[in-house]
Chains A and B, each alone.
Chain A
Amino acid sequence: MVSVASTNFTGEANTMGLLIDYEYCTGCYACIVACQRELELDPKTYGIKVHGYGPVEVGDDKWEWSYLPMPTSRCDLCAERTAEGRLPSCVHHCPANVMYYGTLEELSKKLAEKSTQVLYSL
């Protein structure tokens, strides 16, 4: 397995990020496999991990049931792919289209447009 150098968790100023609209993440785990295959990781070794909460009843038959993909230190935002003009594999393949790749500046604006989103600076 290839060891992937981390470009994040360096504490340095950063310009690029991933925005997740977790209102619509269905927990299908496509991003996990896309990432494992791109980074040549073993099963249960993650460049992105999906965390979940629920289903929990929060009112009369009203439910909270959410998933949130979280990049790990292995995530390099698919440096090779993005360098040549492709999207990170998880973003490219997300069946629910809930992942966005871009500059923190533009993603910050998108973040403000809607609730239930998170922005990762990577």
Chain B
Amino acid sequence: MSDSCDNHCPPMNDDHEVVKIAHGGGGRAMAQLLDGIFRPAFDNPWLARQHDGAVVDMPGAMAFTTDSYVVRPLFFPGSDIGTMAVHGTVNDLAMCGARPQYLSAGFILEEGLPLATLRRVVDSMAAAALEAGVQIVTGDLKVVERGKADGLYINTAGVGRVVAPQPVAPARVRPGDRILLSGDLGRHGVAVMTAREKLDLESAIESDCASVAPPVLALLEAGVDVHCLRDLTRGGLASALVEVSESAGVAAEIREADIPVREDVSAFCELLGLDPLHVANEGRFIAVVAEPDVARAVDVLRRYPVSEAAVEIGHFVQGAAGLVTASSMIGASRVIDRLSGEQLPRIC
């Protein structure tokens, strides 16, 4: 906990309180909010300096990314907006072949948001940061009028040192490269959808939201020739594969029968007419690796809980950019396309 809070602030024991416009005004109310909720949670030397920004040492190549989080509802089975805001950015850094290190966090709070809710979100972020081994070293806070935001929005940006010996990017994908999928698909999207639409399911499907940095770093440390990494967020596996195929200028072929989808997720998707390949994930990625390294790569991935179900699902081939085909369960083939528009449940 920072000194300033210990010495000057009344204890932040007002969890029945709500966010007010004054909390974003730069005055005493804001200082109380920062000292009462944010600093104790994110506690680190950079924040303790109370400077306009953080100064960090960063030798060598650096990866830099940003993402904004606007998920509704703020809490859903298995995760919440705060955890997502940390893991999402951590995962984007890992996809660059980098070790995630420092994050910034910008908050847009809606007037009227209960402080207890804010505290839960911030505590989730702190827990996620601890788990991922990153520090939240700088931040910003704004308050907007009631009705102008959905409770709260978070932006995080992050930097990390690149540890991959060669660039990890679609440009390095070659025909013959194998596609590894880190685990089962669709849990995050279904968890959010059930919470948002208040669909009562017999069993709660929990989001897969997690940091995937540990298995990714382990792949690189083991010397696996990783050509490309991509996390499977909005648009799901299908969109990720089409994007990589487009940028790489090679086609991809996958085997639908080898793609793990949990039974309850599968049933939910059947009911609503959704394709699990299009549903969002928050703790899944594909690794494109050189063919000789496949067995080793799968072995490394399976040592980590977040990727214990890793499996090879297909490969890249000479062919048109953006063309991804799947052999269907009954042995015929179909084109896999990226999701167009939003996912809409069908009539019947």
A binds B: no
Residues of B within 8 A of A (CB): none
Residues of A within 8 A of B (CB): none
